[in-house]
Structure formats: C-alpha cells, structure tokens
Amino acid sequence: MHKLFRKWGIVARGIIIINRIFFVFVKDEYLIELGNQIRTLRKEKGLSQEQLALKADVDRSYMGGIERGERNVTFLTLVKIANTLGCDVAKFTKGIPQPAS
C-alpha cells in the first residue's frame, strides 16, 4: 500500500482509469470501524440490513455503504440509526479513535 495511504490511515479500495485519469477509491479506517460497530449492534438486535434501513428511513444501499465504511455518514443519519437500534450515537463511536499508547 502507498505510504501516504498508511500515513492518513486509509485503505485502497480500487482504482479506475478513465481517459488516463486515475480515480482511487479509499476507505478510511475510522469509517470502517464505525460501520463494523453499527453492523454488530444491528445483528445483536436481530435486524437485517434492509430492516434497519427501512426503520431508520435510510436507503438500503446507503446503509450497506455505511456498514462497509464506504460512506462518510452525517450526524443526523447516525442519530436515526441509533434511535432505531435503541442506543445513543456514542455507542457507535466508542474506541474511535484508539487512544495513543
């Protein structure tokens, strides 16, 4: 992985070349962790991704992108998801970022 990606804490997702222009799709490690925590809570509640999206009034494919760390989700969307899962937003972000050693 490119050293700048490591420095910024992002993971390369894929590269697309259009008219000799490189587009690099990246995932941020913090968004990946946020998505993992949302996925864990959703599964604990026994909800499918589609059920959570419907109840939280979020598009199903957008919800998938959040859980995969592909979306830089807004605070208001986090509030909707938290309300649906019966928790507060802090539950999603606990341990993000990890404290420096």
Tens of pLDDT, residue by residue over 18-45, are 555 554 555 788 999 999 999 999 999 9
What is each CA distance from 10 to 27, 71, 78, 81, in whole angstroms?
5, 13, 21, 24
Report the distance separating Cα 89 and Cα 11, nearest Å.
25
Beta strands in the chain (DSSP E): 10-18, 21-28
pLDDT higher at 27 or 10: 27
How many CB atoms lie under 10 A from the CB of residue 92? 21
* Range in 13-17, 26-30, 46-50, 94-98 with the lowest mean pLDDT: 13-17
Q: Mean pLDDT throughout 63-81?
A: 95
pTM: 0.73
**56 pLDDT tier (thresholds 50, 70, 90):** very high
Cα 42 versus chain centre, distance: 13
